[in-house]
Amino acid sequence: MTSSREIAPGLVIQGFTPPLNLKDFKLIAFDMDSTLINIECVDEIADAAGRKAEVAAITEAAMRGEITDYKESLRQRVALLKGVTVAHMQQVYEQRLQLNPGAAELVAACQRAGLKVLLVSGGFTFFTDRIRDRLGIDYTRSNVLEVQDGALTGQMVDQPWGDICDGAEKRRMLLETCTRLGIAPKQAIAMGDGANDLPMMGEAGLSVAYHAKPRVREQAMVAINSGGLDRLLEIVR
């Protein structure tokens, strides 16, 4: 890939010349944790179990790409959540989770331009469903935490499409959504921050790293290193 260049403070591009036209794209796909929202939900749920440091260390290694088996890393983290109540998860949503700066503005701009919006997450439906409803997102894919008697069991529930939404599943969901819409993957934008976002970012016509891990910044066509998600609109108008 061609060398990168900073076109504005904290905004780096490589491989193309801006501006691009937003209406040339038909789909935008977002990662959730630390991309569309400000937290890693699994880490904040773990805080209720007194295990945040332990879980967060695994999350950080997984996002940096230092753990090759993402599914196993997620199973390990979810096992440590056993006993956390649904009420605690609701507190995380209400008290800790915020949309990242520019998230609502970027989603609204894409919707006005006619793009469909996809949210694909290695996180959990408890949160993706709420963000979907809040922003009017069209499609989601994420993991289901098993609940019994109002508390987490430490396991996840298999879904019709598979067991865990990892990098390969994010890629598959992006391609499946493109097929559903009758568009080419090159008509999609994909935004993420961690190593498990790279498979879907590699298929999209425009890949965007948001305050991302070094490996992701290096491979993305756009890296937003400061400011909000809506800085993409400085490049795609």
Q: Mind telling me the catalytic residues?
A: 31, 33
C-alpha 208/C-alpha 140 separation (Å) is: 19
C-alpha 193/C-alpha 123 separation (Å) is: 13
Dihedral angle at the C-alpha atoms of 132, 187, 209, 6, nearest 10 degrees?
-140
**Three-state SS sequence of 171-225:** HHHHHHHHHHHCCCHHHEEEEECCHHHHHHHHHCCEEEEECCCHHHHHHCCEEEC
C-alpha 177/C-alpha 136 separation (Å) is: 16
Contact, 31 vs 192, CB < 8 A? Answer: yes
C-alpha 35/C-alpha 98 separation (Å) is: 11
Residues 6 or more apart whose CB falls under 8 angstroms from that of 21 comprise 236, 237
Contact, 165 vs 141, CB < 8 A? Answer: yes
Integer CA distances (angstroms), 181 to 1, 106, 118, 131, in order: 29, 21, 12, 22
